[in-house]
Amino acid sequence: MNHSKETGKVFGESNPKANSSRRGLHGLHLVAVTVVLAALAPVIGFASSVAPELHEHLKRIARFAKPSPMVTVPAGWFVMGTNRKDDDPFGFATQYDDTEFPARRIWLDTFAIDQYEVSLGEFLAFLDQAGLPVSAELQKLIWHLISVHYIPDQVLAPWPALYVTWQEAVAFCQAQGKRLPTEAEWEKAARGTDGRIFPWGDTPPTDAIAVFGAYHVHEIPLVAAVDSYPEGRSPYQVHHLAGNVAEWVNDWLGADYYPIMPERNPHGPKSGRYKSVRGGSWKSRPRMLRAATRGGAFPEQREATIGFRCAMSISSARAEESNGQDHLPR
């Protein structure tokens, strides 16, 4: 599988020039976060890395941040991947490519996952508290939205975080005592136990249930608030697992991994070149929104189409305490 094919799978109409240039245990969280943050960038500080006229806006956006509630996905089997289908090449039940082969019956232990994507406000608050710089891409975007489009800070706060590298997503989740979901966890949260094509079912996506297929001449992300579009929720009531922003997961992308992955709690290949990205984005074609469609990107890559959400392992004792009331499929 070549890189251009993979990035095309995730980003759809991504910028060719840009692409060519960029070719738990709680007791361990503090140590892990320190190591990851040290690898990200020199700690030059949120304030000192931002122009004064932008700094106060970023602070206000961060102050509007609201953490996502988490929903519990019970332990059990689900179908991951797709069996080859050649009689309907344009149908949504047909595989996007051969990295989805074959459909496998997979067991996952109980886990929790953020109901919403991590918001821009949450991400900026994390960067500020950690003393990490705001990327030039994100600074430029926010300043443009504020100074040209006059979008208020409180409107930007619930946007999904974007222009986030995989390393930054890992560090954010670890700082919250969480982690990125595995690719299997992400897919189960999206399609449930009935093997549905999209998070909401098997019907094709529309503008009423997902954010996709958009285009802006200046590459302004046409996204929605992370807690919006309830009609597009998954069986576990998780929002925006199709469209809005595609999402980093923890696994390396293995093109031939599905036939050999373990049937219980797979964690992906041990190494790779690209990290898996799931769900499609505001720019994506409808086929990218399928729950089984896979894509990947370099871990250090920043895109206006990629964000993330966090997950957490749950012990059987804690799962019993929830008594099955945390957003079971309905």
The CATH number of the domain holding residue 127 is 3.90.1580.10
Banded model confidence at residue 48, pLDDT cuts 50, 70, 90:
low
Predicted pLDDT at 40? 47
Average pLDDT, the chain: 85
Predicted pLDDT at 139? 97
As a whole-number percent, the residues of the chain with pLDDT over 90 amount to 72
**CA 116, 221, 121, 251 torsion-angle sign:** positive
Q: What is the pLDDT of residues 128-184, one digit of tens each?
A: 999 999 999 999 999 999 999 999 999 999 999 999 999 999 999 999 999 999 999
Mean predicted confidence (pLDDT) in 47-70:
90
Q: What is the pLDDT of residues 24-33, one digit of tens each?
A: 333 334 334 4
Give a yes or no: residue 319 inside a domain: no
pTM beyond cutoff 0.75: yes
Give a yes or no: residue 175 inside a domain: yes
Give a yes or no: residue 326 inside a domain: no
Residues 6+ apart with CB under 8 A from 238: 71, 113, 114, 115, 189, 190, 199, 327
Give a yes or no: residue 277 inside a domain: yes
Predicted pLDDT at 20? 36
Q: What is the pLDDT of residues 73-123, one digit of tens each?
A: 999 999 999 887 877 777 787 877 788 989 999 999 999 999 999 999 999
Mean predicted confidence (pLDDT) in 258-271:
97
Mean predicted confidence (pLDDT) in 316-322:
47
Buried b (16+ CB within 10 A) or exposed e, 252-279: bbbbebbeebeeebbebbeebebbbbbb
Q: How far apart are CA 178 and CA 162, in angstroms?
A: 19
Give a yes or no: residue 330 inside a domain: no
User: Greater confidence, 294 or 319?
Assistant: 294
Nearest Cα residue to 291 out of 166, 189, 223: 189
User: Greater confidence, 320 or 221?
Assistant: 221
Nearest Cα residue to 114 out of 75, 72, 80, 171: 72
Give a yes or no: residue 320 inside a domain: no
What phi-psi label fits residue 216: left (phi over 0), alpha (psi between -120 and 50 degrees) or beta?
beta
C-alpha distances in Å from residue 139, one per residue of 115, 135, 297: 27, 6, 22
Banded model confidence at residue 15, pLDDT cuts 50, 70, 90:
very low
Q: Which two tokens stand for residue 107?
A: 């067991």
Whole domain around residue 223: which residue ranges? Answer: 3-314
Burial class of 109 by CB neighbour count within 10 A (0 to 12, 13 to 18, 19+): middle
Predicted pLDDT at 26? 38
Predicted pLDDT at 315? 76
Predicted pLDDT at 46? 62
Looking at the structure of the chain, the number of domains it has is 1
Nearest Cα residue to 37 out of 162, 174, 164, 181: 174
Q: Write phi, then psi, for 90 (nearest 5 degrees).
A: -105, 5
- The count of residues in the chain is 330
Q: How far apart are CA 215 and CA 195, in angstroms?
A: 31
Q: Is the pLDDT of residue 17 over 70?
A: no
Predicted pLDDT at 167? 98
Which amino acid is it at 176?
Q
Give a yes or no: residue 324 inside a domain: no
* CA contacts within 13 A on the Cβ side of 177: 6
Could you identify the residue written with the tokens 């939205």?
145
Give a yes or no: residue 271 inside a domain: yes
User: Greater confidence, 70 or 47?
Assistant: 70
User: Greater confidence, 328 or 224?
Assistant: 224
Q: Is the pLDDT of residue 7 over 80?
A: no
Q: Is the pLDDT of residue 317 over 80?
A: no
Residues 6+ apart with CB under 8 A from 242: 190, 198, 199, 200, 205, 210, 212, 232, 279, 280, 289, 290, 291
User: Greater confidence, 315 or 307?
Assistant: 307
Spatial strand order of the sheet with 275-278 comes to 294-297, 275-278, 246-252, 306-307
Q: Is the pLDDT of residue 271 over 70?
A: yes
